[in-house]
Amino acid sequence: MKIKVFSDELTIGMYISELDHPWVESSFLFQGFEIHDDDELNQVKSSCDYVYVDNEKSQPEAKLKLSTLTTSHLNVETKQKPKLTDTTSLKTAEFDKDNFTQSLIKARTSRDKTRRYVDEMLSHARTGEIINTSTAKLLVAELANNIVENLDASMWLTHLKQRDEYTAIHSLNVCVLSLTFGRALGLPLEELNEIGLGALLHDIGKMRVPLKVLNKPGKLTKDEFEIMKSHPGMGYEIVRNDKNLSPKVLTIIRSHHERLNGKGYPDNLPEESISYYTKMVSITDVYDAITSDRVYHDGMTPHDALKSLYEWMPDNYDSELIQAFIRTIGIYPVGSVVELHSGHVGIVVKLNEQHRLKPVVMLVINREGEFYSVRKLINLASSVWDRKKNKPGIKRITDPKEYNIDIKKIIDQESLR
């Protein structure tokens, strides 16, 4: 049963089935979700006057609260929210930028080392030379350890993308994203290294695809698409006899384009024949692809990419893994450009696990619309805001192009010191 409920009557455990405005205009990724914590509860309260709650899907303790509501609570008229001007100084909640910068530099050093290897690996694959996968294993292990120590810095560096260097950067990013995803799922280090190695090598077969097909700026013809579809199989053939690679790694390389509906390639595998690791890498592969600028399209924002993955999920991706990946990346993914209620614009650089709606933001533009010459980090989850009337928060996620923000340039400036 769905019940129309005032926002101030909501509690943790209730299942929201409908909002008082279209889902696409909201910041919520899921169309239908349970309120898990105070952050989500406050987000609903701040953005909706009323919602529809599904009593059957709500937690037992929340159902008891629903049962006490009277008819007057359920007949809701839209209330006009007061408009608050956030005049609080952001200086009082600055985040330790020195420590973050050191983490960023360390993560950049590891990433650049791996990037040089990827360039060499792809070059050898193109010319038919032997690929040094033992070095790949060592670099993936280093990346895995670095992600444990410098997770947010590593994730921000996945935004170091260039349109004309897609394959190399994509391979590296899918490795980092897969390691991050696996860590969030609680995989042991040995298994993280396996999935990371498969992710790093997953597109090696593209080096056997003609450049005129690989880099074609327009839509591929049917014959060209068939050629492109051959790359997982060719990648598998390149490394199938390599003793450094386990069957799990080889399966990722061959099957990362298989889909749950059996319409993937190269083998049209049914859902039950697609390995768990492969299902994970297929998600990180697509996420990085659709957030990247390519020769034939501009990339989506991280937020829009997560929404797209959720929409494509039923026929293509494991639902539990998609939802776990969205939780891993966050409502405001690292690298997202956000506008604050105060008028400032910044980039999300660190997630707060206990306060998912209140990340650490690097301020890029002040409330007068001017770029900062020296950027500072603000922790939106800082307890200092508990004593303030007008707490700063994220008003919306925006496209960096709207404010002429060059994320790659900013990352270079912050990490190359």
The full set of domain ranges for the chain reads: 2-74, 90-95+333-415, 98-329
Residue-by-residue DSSP string for 317-361: S-HHHHHHHHHHH-SS-TT-EEEETTS-EEEEEE--TT-TT--EE
Query: pTM of whole model > 0.75?
Result: yes
Length of the chain: 417
Q: What is the pLDDT of residue 181?
A: 96
Nearest to 86 by CA among 399, 322, 388, 403: 388
Q: What is the pLDDT of residues 135-157, one digit of tens each?
A: 999 999 999 988 888 889 999 99
Query: Which two structure tokens, joined as six digits, stand for 63?
Result: 């159902």
- 98-329, which class in CATH? mainly alpha
Q: What is the pLDDT of residue 85?
A: 40
Distances (CA, A) of 258 to 266, 285, 316: 7, 12, 8
Residue 343 Rama label (left phi>0; alpha psi -120 to 50; beta): left
Residue 31's φ and ψ, nearest 5 degrees, are -90, 90
Q: What is the pLDDT of residue 131?
A: 92
Low-confidence ranges of the chain (pLDDT < 50): 72-88, 92
Q: Is 52 helix (H, G, I), strand (E, B) or coil?
A: strand
Q: What is the pLDDT of residue 78?
A: 39
Distances (CA, A) of 412 to 107, 108, 147, 243, 294: 12, 9, 19, 38, 21
For tokens 């925006």, what's the residue?
A: 398
Q: What is the pLDDT of residue 76?
A: 43
